[in-house]
Amino acid sequence: MTRAEAVNPAARAPVNKVYFMQNSQSSDAIIIGAGFSGLYLLHKLRELGLSVVVFERGGDVGGTWYWNRYPGARCDIESTWYSYSFSPELEREWKWSQRYAKQEEILAYAGHVADRFALRPFIRFNTRVDGAHFDERAQEWVVQTDVGATHRAPLLFAATGPLSDSNVPPLPGLNTFAGEIHHTGAWPHQAVDFAGKRVGIVGTGSSGVQTIPMVARQAAQTFVFQRTPQFVLPAEHREVSEEESARIRSDYAQLRTLQRSAPTGFWANPGPHRFFDVSSEERAEELERRWKNGGFAFLQAFTDMLTNEKANVEASAFVKRKICDAVNDPEIAARLTPTFALGARRPVLGDRYYETFNQTNVTLVDLKQEPIVGLTTDGLSTSQHHFPLDAIVFATGFDALTGAILKLNLKGRDGITIQDAWADGPKNTLGFMVHGFPNFFMLAGPGSPAVRGCVITSTEQQVDWLADCVAHMRRHRLATIESTAQSDQAWVETVNEAAGTTLTSTVDSWYLGSNIPGKPKVFMPYSGGFGVYRDICDNVARGGYERFTFSKAPAAAPAEQAAPSC
Ligand code: NA7
């Protein structure tokens, strides 16, 4: 008996032809991506009785956790929240060992889910989708993969991940460097040995902040090339004891209610007071308490800390003092200190990040003072120095939210390409659909709230909504669904309005696409909060899927005209 069969008797049943035919080139639905959203979508569509095939470019399930194997990789949301909520049995049986799960543990969890719900037989691994067009006559998507096969299905879902298209800056001389080059988002499966080496790390976002202390422990010399300093809050990693794990698992029903009530999709103990409604001593005490406990709860110490400018200045000053305390050299501390408001960019959780810069083998290079001019065979040059290196790590992030979808090379109705449709930015309705692309659905993409908090919480809601929509179409014999041009435009405006109420629209970041040269600068994720988004989606469904148009499936041929069977 396989592991899957041991945990789930359903896995012992023969693969049902209603769902999937191994050699068939067509199915009811195609899902691109077997990360967390793709896996749950596959499970839901199978429950509806659809035949589904999933194409996954990686060799296993897990999406971002399959690719991001760099040293120190972990989730910055606590494992209690960063997990599926759709199955109480799954919640009871899976034990997280750490407060913030490491990449290996999250990958193991994704594998467990795939086995437990018998999902693997429907996934074609190591298969990249290179193109897809909508065949209007057949009302089907025709999908091409890099293994040469063509597959057809009426429904096409991009579960391609919001942060999956790695951004390697096109630096002059990139191909001439003779040493090793790695990107954090496409890390080798074998451990990379940096012992005794001179290593350059470009980028100080979440991935850089997690990688840098780990590399600095091993490498002879570590050069950190920083373009924008971040607010790095202490994570305070720790093991989860047996008792704590048992308590969490037995309390999940209440915990999920709390989680769904949070605008970010995870619960971070929001404080009840406004910043200036308590004394300065009480404020300092509360900030200190939350700093010591670690995590994003620090940002929720007071209700208006990220919206009231004066409160934000004080809270930012608190963190800046912590940077000065942690870093011995005041000049280095100053270079590590952000100049934007706390919360204007998604803060980063770190583990003794600032202290790493006290190590004598670590050098901070400020790219604002001396930009990179290019790579040579033996290293990296800035406008002022040349740094001989044995290895370069690009922790330079992703072409977020749109990169992976654009690479699908979609052609919709009348031959319109997704590149044309999104020339001025990713227009869409509710983050789900794009006008001109019938029956093509997105998860965790532009217009969705996923990256503004816990991606799993968000995509579970999105999958549930989409599954209901598919069930509605089948019930009413509807062949296609498509968003209208007006509703796409209206959603872009809603996304912009919601962004305008936050600090995050005020500074450059990947939310705006400003990390990718030439990308339209448009605020992409929906920032109005998970609960508000859920209500909007539910109202649209209750209103008979207003904002979308449907076409009817052709009536079934009368029995006497049916083709004779052999
Ligand atoms: P991020 O957060 O996009 O960070 C990328 C980092 O790389 C950031 O410091 C960038 O500086 C830097 N970067 C990007 N391009 C360049 C070039 N050309 N030269 C120098 N430095 C560059 O990606 P991560 O992988 O760290 O994290 C992604 C998300 O994963 C994160 O937000 C969490 O949600 C989890 P910049 O800030 O653009 O000046």
394, 413, 437 - which closes a domain: 394
pLDDT at 102: 98
pLDDT of 182 higher than 90 = yes
pLDDT of 8 higher than 90 = no
Residue 349 CA to ligand 1 center (angstroms) comes to: 14
Q: Is the CB of 429 under 6 A from ligand 1?
A: no
pLDDT of 1 higher than 90 = no
Q: Which of 123, 79, 357 is nearest to 235 (CA)?
A: 79
Percent with pLDDT over 90 in the chain:
91
Q: Is the CB of 346 under 6 A from ligand 1?
A: yes
pLDDT at 566: 26
Provide DSSP, 139-166.
TEEEEEETTS-EEEESEEEE---SS-SB
pLDDT of 250 higher than 90 = yes
Q: Is the CB of 397 under 6 A from ligand 1?
A: yes
| pLDDT tens column, 80-103 | 999 999 999 999 999 999 999 999
The ligand 1 atom at the shortest distance from the C-alpha of residue 206 is 26
Please state the rounded mean pLDDT for residues 548-566.
60
Q: Is the CB of 396 under 6 A from ligand 1?
A: yes
394, 428, 461 - which closes a domain: 394
Residue 464 CA to ligand 1 center (angstroms) comes to: 31
pLDDT at 11: 32
Please state the rounded mean pLDDT for residues 517-539.
96
Looking at the fold, whether 406 and 431 belong to one and the same domain comes out as: yes
394, 417, 433 - which closes a domain: 394
Q: Is residue 334 part of a domain?
A: yes
3-class secondary-structure state, position 391: strand
Q: Is residue 252 part of a domain?
A: no
Residue 205 CA to ligand 1 center (angstroms) comes to: 5
Q: Is residue 495 part of a domain?
A: yes
Looking at the fold, whether 297 and 327 belong to one and the same domain comes out as: yes
The total of other beta-carbon atoms located within 10 Å of residue 374's CB is 13
Q: Is the CB of 207 under 6 A from ligand 1?
A: yes
Matching residue, tokens 């979808």: 405
pLDDT at 499: 93
Provide DSSP, 349-386.
EESSHHHHTTSTTEEEEETTTS-EEEEETTEEEESS-E
Domain limits for position 326: 180-241+259-394
Question: Considering its fold, how many domains does the chain have in total?
Answer: 2
Q: Is the pTM of this model over 0.85?
A: yes
pLDDT at 556: 60
Q: What is the domain-level CATH number for residue 156?
A: 3.50.50.60
Please compute Rg for the chain using Cα positions: 25
Looking at the fold, whether 198 and 154 belong to one and the same domain comes out as: no
Pairing of strands 129-135, 140-145: antiparallel
